[in-house]
Structure 1
Amino acid sequence: MNRFLFAFLTLLPTPFLSAQDAPSASTPLFDGKTLDGWHNPYEWGETTVKDGEIHLVAQRKFFLMSDREYGDYVFEGEVFLPEGKSNSGFMVRGQEGKNRVYGYQAEADPTERAWSGGLYDEGRRQWLNPLSDQPEAQKAFKKGQWNRYKIVAEGDQLQFFVNDVPTTDYHDPVDLTGRIGLQHHGEKDQLYRFRNLRVQDNGRSVWKPLFNGKDLSGWKAVGGGQWSVEDGVLVGKSPASEAKHGLLLSEKSYGDFTAKIVFRITSGNSGFYFHSQPVDQAVGIHGVQAELENSDAVGGLYETGGRGWIAKPLGYFDSFSADRQGGRKKQWAKVLAGLTPENWTTMVVSVHGDRIVTHVGDILACDIRDAKVAQQGHFALQLHGGQDMHVEIKSVELLKKQTQD
């Protein structure tokens, strides 16, 4: 069993729902009689209602999509797949255009591969969480009967359950809102059936700035180098003759979070610290940083004043099957090629409990459990001592509920 993406079976972090906790305020997404609230964005595909079920028939792949978009929610629904060749799933925050649907999908896979409940990125990055290394999850789906799915989307975290068995627990920052969808995979004349579709709308999570684009309010510069705001951008500079690290330290301390940093680096090695503490030493800080640099170390995790390297980017990669790897190294190579002084790069860091996840662009860099990481502390941006440093930060944002300050 893969220790990076399936540790949640024994260590589910606390604000997340268990499969046994039924939604307390869910409402029907299907009235059992009509397709009110649903639409087909394709020019093909048959959709009917019979005996309280939605029936899909087609000769090409298509999706029936909810009219409403949702952000954070708990969805429950049942699917019955026909005998013979078939494949289906529920779209999660699905995106659409004419004759096209793409985005997250909770897979329904009755084949011997048995990846039902895995996370597939339809029309984009393909498999994000297959179940090749999760034998208990592979047993959850039952052929020839109704299978009950539960989907919890909260911020950047997606959790899937099939017949109450946890199958996916994944952090991904690409889509925070979208539509719920039902898939027909396109097998000729095969009948796909859906029923008991319900949703609990839990609002939306949005990015809120920690840097106001005007001055250093909420931050404190310590150590070597200089920080300034130029044309709405944080600029940090330090000469190679400066031995001390320069730090822009958040005045507040933070616990669990998801943060997005948009940066570019002309020279030197920088980082985004979290759950860290300032110290009266040349390094200026003790804590874990996600690397900001123009190298293949970007998105890696390094503990200053402690263990050194905790995880290198894509350190998980070789432990996954070839099915998971498909094209991922090429995608990562494109990310690295874009790390130039002219280009802005986005990194997302998500820390909840002992789980640390980093993305560079839309590619997973690290996903680890670290029992030694502090549970609270400051954010900081780094100017590395002893290097000619020039780093620019366009924005620093936290993912919060829309009603939160």
Structure 2
Amino acid sequence: MKLKVLSKLMLGVMVAFGSSCASQSSKQKDNTPWVYLINKNNTEGWTILGGEATYKVEKGVVTGTTVANTPNTFLVTKKLYNDFIFEIDFKVDSTMNSGIQIRSNSLPFYQNGRVHGYQVEIDPSKRAWSGGIYDEGRRKWLTTLENNSEAQKAFKQNQWNHYRVEAIGSTIKTWINGVPASYLIDDKTASGFIGLQVHSIGDKMEKLGKKVMWKDAKILTQNLSKYLLESPLEPVVTHNNLTVQEKKDGWEMLWDGKTTNGWRGAKLEHFPKSGWNIENGVLSVADTGGRESVAGGDIVTTKDYSNFELQVNFKITSGANSGIKYYVNTDINKGEGSSIGLEYQILDDEHHEDAKLGSKEGSRTMCSLYDLIKADANKPVNPVGEWNSARIVSINNHVEHWINDVKVLEYERGSRAFLKLVSESKYAKWLNFGLLEKGQILLQDHGNKVSFKNIKIRVPKNKKD
């Protein structure tokens, strides 16, 4: 009997020894040139942004602890990363929500430095969306896991979990404990820091002192093609599509990215037969050397809009001039003046002479209300050749112009100040300029190549046109 027990013990030792050897052998075979990001006992190479939650490092494990009445807090790398493969282990209290920021930023002009960017969600709740992708401080949910039960089941409560993230170009893929979780194609942000989030708890004292832990954070930035994994998931593509959150919030695509449906020439009953090009989901106006409307001419929506929020991504070429007009009526005064309306100016301020003109100094610069109100000089405009995001909000005559998620001007249509500006501008000769109750949205052909995509609109539910 004793011999059998001894034999079993010896077998157990041999199995354990064999497993240990196999594990070490496996690690030795991993020649992946990882760069480890967490030091053994300090946060060198990292900094804290946002709130006042605390972080400490012991034996290579970062522990974040909640603090009451403070915003989301982030321990972020001082170094920025663009394309990379990243892996990390984490453990979270079952009552907490957290996340890992990738390609994220904190910029002084964006909500006073608020951390924003892609977040790989850590979600121990019954919803179980760990590994989903959330756009912190911006668009909210981009990929969710309600249709990915395998990934939902992969999360381990109150245990260490493992994430893998591949961010290559506009593609972001995630895995949780080896199970594919998300596959996103989105080009909002190409570079940023990596961050470890301690979520705000407000004044919920029952969540005070809760902890999130991370370890073994490692990254690859070179020769990435050698180490990429295949994902069986269908990608979520945001290019000319609505995000999960936008669908919930009532947004609609104003251009489908493929056809001319919903648009026509400003002076035509159909879309121009030349002068505009659709290629790879991008709508571009032809370059005619600055000769305005000699090719296709301006294009307008086939519907009118009153109260609305409009989003348009645009990209200019050197010296380009264009614009997004709103409250346009092309059914009156056909021909001369038929494309008149309030205009969100699109311009290469550095190389186009219009930047120095206007009824008010600077009122023809990028993002300005053309010839009337100059946009904030500190506007965060991306360089020529890169995409920018324009947003126009017009609700109950209150109008705002935004560029890359930052508001750069606002005004009240029909106010005494507005009417005075119009009377002193080139628009003084147009009766009731800018005061239409509703009108079309126009993309301008000014003879320079300018490209557009991701054209979306939201109409308030209480006043649908």
TM-score of the two chains, using structure 1 as the length reference: 0.51
Paired position in structure 1 for 2:105? 95
Check whether the contact 1:80–1:192 (CA below 8 A) recurs between aligned residues. yes
| Match of residue 72 from structure 1 | 83
Q: For residue 34 of structure 1, what is the aligned residue in structure 2?
A: 42
Return the alpha-carbon distance in structure 2 between the equivalents of residues 244 and 124 of structure 1.
36
The correspondence for 1:176, drawn from 180, 190, 204, is 190
Q: More strand by proportion, 1 or 2? A: 1
User: Cα offset for 1:163?
Assistant: 0.9
Task: Give the structure 1 partner of residue 154 of structure 2.
Answer: 140
When structure 1 is superposed on structure 2, of 130-139 and 177-186 the one drifting more is: 130-139
Quote how far apart the aligned CAs of 1:164 are.
1.2
In 1, the alpha carbon distance for the partners of 2:130 and 2:174 equals 10
Q: Matched residues in 1 for 2:302 and 2:266: separation?
A: 23
Q: Which has the higher contact order (CA 8 A, sep 6+)?
A: 1
Residue 150 of structure 1 aligns with which residue? 164
Residue 198 (str. 1) matches residue 218 (str. 2): yes
- The superposition leaves residues 170-205 of structure 1 with CA deviations (integer Å, 9 ceiling, x where unpaired) of 11111100000001113421111000000111499x
How far apart are 1:360 and its partner, in Å? 10
Is the contact made by 2:37 and 2:218 (CA closer than 8 Å) also made in structure 1? yes
Q: Which amino acid aligns with 1:246?
A: S
User: Is the alpha carbon distance of 1:92 and 1:336 closer, same or farther for their aligned partners in structure 2, counting shifts above 3 Å?
Assistant: closer
Q: Deviations over 1:3-26 (max 9, x none)?
A: xxxxxxxxxxxxxxxxxxx89332
Greater C-alpha Rg: 2
- In structure 1, stretches of 5+ residues that fail to align are 1-21, 205-236, 251-256, 271-291, 298-331, 346-358, 364-387, 398-405
Partner of 2:399: none
Measured after TM superposition, the shift of residue 46 of structure 1 is 1.1
C-alpha distance 25-360 of structure 1, shift in aligned 2 (>3 A): same
Deviation per residue, 1:231-282 (Å, 9 max, x gap) = xxxxxx99969999437899xxxxxx98876769998998xxxxxxxxxxxx
1:229 corresponding residue in structure 2? none
Q: Do the aligned partners of 1:80 and 1:193 also contact (CA within 8 Å) in 2?
A: yes
Question: Are 2:449 and 1:393 equivalent residues in the alignment?
Answer: yes
Match of 2:319 in 1: none
**Contact 1:102–1:124 (CA<8 Å) still a contact in 2?**
yes
Equivalent residues of 2:65, 2:211 under 8 A apart:
yes
Structure 2 CA distance for aligned equivalents of residues 389 and 149 of structure 1:
47
TM-score normalised by the chain length of structure 2? 0.45
Unaligned runs of 5+ in 2: 1-29, 202-207, 225-264, 314-322, 326-342, 348-386, 392-443, 454-465
Q: Could you give the per-residue CA deviations for residues 74-95 of structure 1, whole angstroms, max 9, x where no partner exists?
A: 1100110013x20111101011
Tell me, in whole angstroms, the C-alpha distance in 2 between the residues paired with 1:268 and 1:142. 63
RMSD over aligned CA atoms reads 4.6
CA 1:198 to 1:392, structure 2 compared with 1: closer, same or farther past 3 Å?
same
Separation in 1 of the partners of 2:78 and 2:452? 33
Report the residue type matching 2:104 in the other structure: G
- State the shift of 1:123 in Å: 0.7
What is the alpha-carbon distance in structure 1 between the residues aligned to residue 33 and residue 185 of structure 2? 25
Residue 73 of structure 2 is matched in structure 1 by 62
Aligned to 1:52: 60
* Cα gap change, 1:35 to 1:362, in 2 (>3 Å): farther
The separation in 2 between residues aligned to 1:203 and 1:362, in whole angstroms, is 35
CA distance in structure 1 between the partners assigned to 2:31 and 2:294 by the alignment: 49
Q: Which amino acid aligns with 2:140?
A: Q
Counterpart residue number, 2:209: 189
| CA deviation vs aligned residue, 1:277-318 (integer Å, no higher than 9, x gap) | xxxxxxxxxxxxxxx964489xxxxxxxxxxxxxxxxxxxxx
Aligned-pair identity (%): 27
Count how many residue pairs are aligned between Structure 1 and Structure 2: 246
- The counterpart of 2:96, out of the listed 70, 75, 86, is 86
Taking the aligned partners of 1:49 and 1:182, their CA distance within structure 2 comes to 13
Matches within 5 A, 1:15-34: 24-34=32-42
Shift of 1:395: 5.8
The list of structure 1 runs, each at least 4 consecutive aligned residues, that deviate by more than 3 angstroms after superposition, is 237-250, 257-270, 292-297, 336-339, 341-345, 359-363, 388-392
Q: Does 1:113 align with 2:113?
A: no
Partner in structure 1 of residue 204 of structure 2: none
Partner of 2:175: 161
Deviations 1:334-375 (A, max 9, x none): 227995375559xxxxxxxxxxxxx99499xxxxxxxxxxxx
